[in-house]
Amino acid sequence: MVTKDLFGPYDRYTIFSGDLEVSVITLGATVTALKYKGAERAVCYQNAEDAIAGHGFLCKGVGRYANRIGGAAFTLEGRRYELPPNEHLNQLHGGPNSVDKRVWDAEILSDSAVRFSIVSPDGDNGYPGTLKMTFTYSVVGSALRVDFGGETDRTTVYAPTVHPYFNLGGEESVLDAKLWVNAAGHLEVNDELIPSGKVLPCDGKFDFAEMRPVREDLDDCFVLSGEHACTLQMSGGTMEVFTDFPAIQIYTGAKLHAPYKPNQGIAIEPEFYPDSPNHPNFPSTVLHPGEKFAKYVEYRFS
């Protein structure tokens, strides 16, 4: 079942199915509630004012390019594109005033799915091509699935994501959560979290080959070995993440501030590698006219 009401001035769509209830608003295609068996399992904005401010990208839709592009520039088909930086000299999550801060169109597709769409014009935050982005949220049983779509009229780069922060134990610190990651390695990065181009073995704090407590802060990109990306366990239950993106960024929320608490939620973001346009050895994020982008992520609760 899907219902529609208001979250401040924005339309809110709530999808109910079995034990799971998910609310998404048209501002930034942002999840504002994710309840399993009646208990909130995500750290969400509590009001429209916080959602507009957008601190921490709590549960927002992100694009055109998730994560970071080093030096806020890349070269595509022999042309260099300069992007407006919004994190030091780099661009983060698509740039300033990007789609996470804009109003999307919404369409109810069925009693279990709502599609959110937005058009990003040519030159938007420095990116070439008019790009139509779609995020389809569906809830079936105890699983939330997001299907990502995209079409462009000019060759561009496209790497969207969703940015949910999970807490399966209420007020627990996510550093006490247990985590398993199906990782072939993690990206080496500098102090500004820009990749060097190297994939390093997952040892020490990055070794989640067996389920274990998180213990230390993370803000790192893990290269995946399969679609069953990771499993998170806390006192309130278990969540399994499945995706066909090549990587996930895991962030323990150490920099969240009032009214949200540091380490209150753990972000698990399906993604392409950050800064891919500047690393030919990374999976390509190039999207050509006539192609249809299609990726998914599914969060399964138990």
pLDDT in tens, 147-200: 999 999 999 999 999 999 999 998 889 999 999 999 999 999 999 999 999 999
CA-based R_g, the chain, Å: 18
CA dihedral 284, 86, 56, 99 (to 10 degrees): -60
- Strand-pairing partners, residue 106, are 116
pLDDT for the residue 124: 98
pLDDT for the residue 138: 98
- Strand-pairing partners, residue 137, are 114, 146
pLDDT for the residue 286: 98
Whether the upstream peptide bond of residue 79 has omega within 30° of 0, thus cis, is: no
pLDDT for the residue 85: 98
pLDDT for the residue 257: 81
- pLDDT tens per residue across span 65-115: 999 999 999 999 999 999 999 999 999 999 999 999 999 999 999 999 999
The reported pTM is: 0.97
Does domain 2-301 correspond to CATH entry 2.40.50.140?
no
CA dihedral 5, 8, 9, 12 (to 10 degrees): -30
Q: How many CB atoms lie within 10 A of CB 281?
A: 9
Burial 247-270, CB ≥16 within 10 A → b, else e: bbbbbbbeebeeebebbbbbbbbb
The average pLDDT across 248-259 equals 92
pLDDT for the residue 188: 98
CB 100 within 8 A of CB 92: no
